[in-house]
Amino acid sequence: MSIERQEIEKLATLSRIAISEDTITEVSQRLSSVLELVDQLQAVNTDGVEAMSHPMKATQRLREDEVSEINQRDAFLAIAPDTEEGLFLVPKVIE
Amino acid sequence: MHNLTIAELVTGLQSKEFSSVELTQHFLARIARLDANYNAVITVTADQALKAAAAADKRLAAGNAPALCGVPILHKDIFCTNGVRTSCGSKMLDNFIPPYNATVVENFEKAGAVVLGKTNMDEFAMGSSNETSFYGPVKNPWASDSVPGGSSGGSAAAVAARLAPGATATDTGGSIRQPAALCGITGLKPTYGRVSRWGMIAFASSLDQGGPMARTAEDCAILLNCMASYDDKDSTCIDREVPDYSATLGDSIKGLKIGVPKEYFSEGLDADTEKAVRVALAEYEAQGAELIEISLPNTGLSVPAYYVIAPAEASTNLTRFDGVRYGYRCEDPKDLNDLYTRTRAEGFGDEVKHRILIGTYCLSAGYYDAYYGKAQQVRQLIQQDFEKAFEQVDVIMGPTTPSPAFKFGSKGDDPVAMYLEDIYTVATNLAGLPGMSVPCGMVEEKPVGLQIIGNYFDEARMLNIAHQYQQATQWHSLTPEGVA
């Protein structure tokens, strides 16, 4: 199974990863060879087989709806690339 | 002191043969002197370690020291450490200093362990050779032209080179067992849900599991006693009592039923590796165990299923690296989209990017059922293989890897060749079962690992079985040249 340039561009957009023009062929080759590997799954008969979600069939626990985290705003802001007045800063979104 | 096991170090510290400060200085000096040869450690935390060692010595003197008080260890750089850079082997997190400790790190702190630093690893744990690390590859202490395995290659090489008596590691598709095998040490991946994943940077959440690496099974038991715990903060952690893994090490294994899967001894397995594993199985027979040939018919599907599920979950988990809240951010983003796409293009290495793209493909509209849904069904079939086998046998044994450590660059161009390195290890992750690797021989002066796969939460028995083997053999105590 080979993967077309157009598809790579779509995946790059969905993943928010810029892919440079000169690597697109290489990326396409690597992805195609992995997809060829995983395409072996298509031949398996899985009729009536339940998809596995947890090895021990564990389900999510419920807990009381109460505050369990302490306020660490300053600690989290201190490691951010750019902040202002207690907020994370990003390039202007609205003109 | 560096040739002593953790069990011996605990005794030595408690009987005041040496102090934790002396021990810590000794290992820090070894790292400073020798790690240039291996590149196993990314960050050395000398000041904190010496402070912790001094505090440990006080507790030891007062006579109320906890289990690992004063014992130096290394953490894989995937576990968040409060105030200490946690890179996950990536440029993306090269500047990331977490404001909190992972539960595993917290557990070791409570047990009084002294953290010497953080070990090198494949970027975001994606790799089987440690070649994808932003900090450069780790070299195998047994052969400097060969890989140490991955992704926990730094932890494995550090333990093999006696830079620390034990280390933490993680295993998503073989990342504890494979490097343990290639570096000639002992490593255990526990049952999914046994060790908390909180604060362990996520790769594939339904497969990731932390575990110990050390030279002996006895030491792995001591480390797992501390590492395993129920944790409210990890919603997939299983609430189940943690047994004393050291208590049953001495039990007899007479009458043990060992399943030997024929699929693990087929095409692709190096002949000398097979020979070493067969000799180990014969040793078990000599100790009174019974070998029973079994079949795990869906083994061949485990690598394809894994390379859908792991990248799919990774592509979701790694969306959090967006250059906004922490980690790397590109220079002069011209708008928000440019900030995201360039931060991720520049911050992630090639293998990580490729896996994100594959995962995105498998989860995208129109493909979800054919890939992720299908892989989760195949995963059920793989689990059923094991269920059936465990009706008949107590444990399963085979090789950990198809061959000993391979040379750097030898699997560089073809991702599939590298992925097949995990052929014997990924199935246990897919099924959530515990697995371990124990040194069982040497091929061309490189170590070979015996894999032991247990039933759910059967870690105590696996450690017992591995310990009994190590009582009768010497493979675990061989030392690479230049290390002693």
The pLDDT assigned to B415 comes to 83
Report the C-alpha gap between B112 and B62 in whole angstroms.
14
User: Which chain A residues are Cβ-neighbours of B309 within 8 angstroms?
Assistant: none
Q: How far is A33 from chain B (nearest CA, A)?
A: 7
Reference B420, options B432, B411, B428; nearest CA is: B411
Report the C-alpha gap between B26 and B196 in whole angstroms.
31
A65 vs A62, A68, B101, CA distance in Å?
A: 9, 9, 24
Interface touch A17/B357, C-beta < 8 Å: yes
Which has more confidence, B102 or A68? B102
**B131 touches B147 (CB < 8 A):** yes
Please tell me whether residue A88 adopts helix, strand or coil conformation.
strand
Residue reference for tokens 């894989």? B76
User: Which chain A residues are Cβ-neighbours of B373 within 8 angstroms?
Assistant: 51
The pLDDT assigned to B178 comes to 98
User: Which chain A residues are Cβ-neighbours of B327 within 8 angstroms?
Assistant: 81
Exposed (0-12), middle (13-18) or buried (19+): which is B33, by Cβ within 10 Å?
exposed
Query: Considering only alpha carbons, which residue of chain A is nearest residue B335?
Result: A91
- Interface contact B297, partner A, CB < 8 A: no
Please tell me whether residue A22 adopts helix, strand or coil conformation.
helix
User: Which chain A residues are Cβ-neighbours of B322 within 8 angstroms?
Assistant: 16
The pLDDT assigned to A1 comes to 57
Q: Is B200 left (phi over 0), alpha (psi -120 to 50) or beta?
A: beta
Interface touch A38/B380, C-beta < 8 Å: no
The pLDDT assigned to B148 comes to 98
Q: How far is A89 from chain B (nearest CA, A)?
A: 7
- Interface contact B301, partner A, CB < 8 A: yes
Query: Considering only alpha carbons, which residue of chain B is nearest residue A3?
Result: B361
Q: Are strands B435-443 and B446-453 parallel, antiparallel or unpaired?
A: antiparallel
The pLDDT assigned to B144 comes to 95
* Per-window interface: B 150-209 vs A, CB < 8 A: 192-193, 206
Q: Is A18 left (phi over 0), alpha (psi -120 to 50) or beta?
A: beta
Best B234, B339, B377, B383 member to test A by mutation, with max A CBs in 10 Å, is B377
Active site residue ranges of B: 76, 151, 175
Residue reference for tokens 């006080």? B58
The pLDDT assigned to B170 comes to 98
Report the C-alpha gap between B387 and B211 in whole angstroms.
23
Tokens, residue B326: 């922490």
- With a threshold of 0.90, tell me whether the complex ipTM lies above it: yes
The pLDDT assigned to B435 comes to 98
Report the C-alpha gap between B76 and B383 in whole angstroms.
29
Residue B259 belongs to domain spanning: 1-484
The strand pairing partners of B189, in sequence order, are B435
Its pTM stands at 0.97
**B24 touches B114 (CB < 8 A):** yes
Query: Considering only alpha carbons, which residue of chain B is nearest residue A56?
Result: B432
Instruction: Choose among B304, B376, B456: nearest Cβ to A37.
Output: B304
Size of interface A-B (CB pairs under 8 A): 169
The pLDDT assigned to A2 comes to 73
Q: Are strands B186-189 and B209-214 parallel, antiparallel or unpaired?
A: antiparallel
The pLDDT assigned to A53 comes to 83
On average, the pLDDT of chain A sits at 91
- Span A21-29, average pLDDT: 92
Interface touch A80/B326, C-beta < 8 Å: yes
Interface touch A33/B415, C-beta < 8 Å: yes
pLDDT at A95 over 80: no
Q: How far is B267 from chain A (nearest CA, A)?
A: 17
Q: Can you give the three-state secondary structure of chain B, one letter per residue?
A: CCCCCHHHHHHHHHCCCCCHHHHHHHHHHHHHHHHHHCCCEEEECHHHHHHHHHHHHHHHHHCCCCCCCCCEEEEECCECECCECCCCCCHHHCCCCCCCCCHHHHHHHHCCCEEEEEECCCHHHCCCCCCCCCCCCCCECCECCECCCCCCHHHHHHHHCCCCCEEEEEECCCCCHHHHHHHCCEEEECCCCCCCCCCECCCCCCCCEEEEEECCHHHHHHHHHHHCCCCCCCCCCCCCCCCCCCCCCCCCCCCCEEEEEHHHHCCCCCHHHHHHHHHHHHHHHHCCCEEEEECCCCHHHHHHHHHHHHHHHHHHHHHHCCCCCCCCCCCCCCCHHHHHHHHHHHHCCHHHHHHHHHHHHHHCCCCCHHHHHHHHHHHHHHHHHHHHHHHHCCEEEEECCCCCCCECCCCCCCHHHHHHHHCCCHHHHHHCCCEEEEEEEEECCEEEEEEEECCCCCHHHHHHHHHHHHHHCCHHHCCCCCCC
The pLDDT assigned to A63 comes to 87
Query: Domain count of chain B?
Result: 1
The pLDDT assigned to A68 comes to 85
Interface touch B380/A72, C-beta < 8 Å: no
Query: Considering only alpha carbons, which residue of chain A is nearest residue B326?
Result: A80
The strand pairing partners of B290, in sequence order, are B257
Report the C-alpha gap between B230 and B238 in whole angstroms.
6
In CATH, what number is assigned to the domain containing residue B49? Answer: 3.90.1300.10
**B205 touches B212 (CB < 8 A):** no
* Per-window interface: A 18-77 vs B, CB < 8 A: 18-20, 27, 30-31, 33-42, 44, 46, 49-56, 58, 60-61, 63, 72, 75-76
Instruction: Choose among A14, A30, A90: nearest Cβ to B360.
Output: A14
Residues of chain B with pLDDT under 50: none
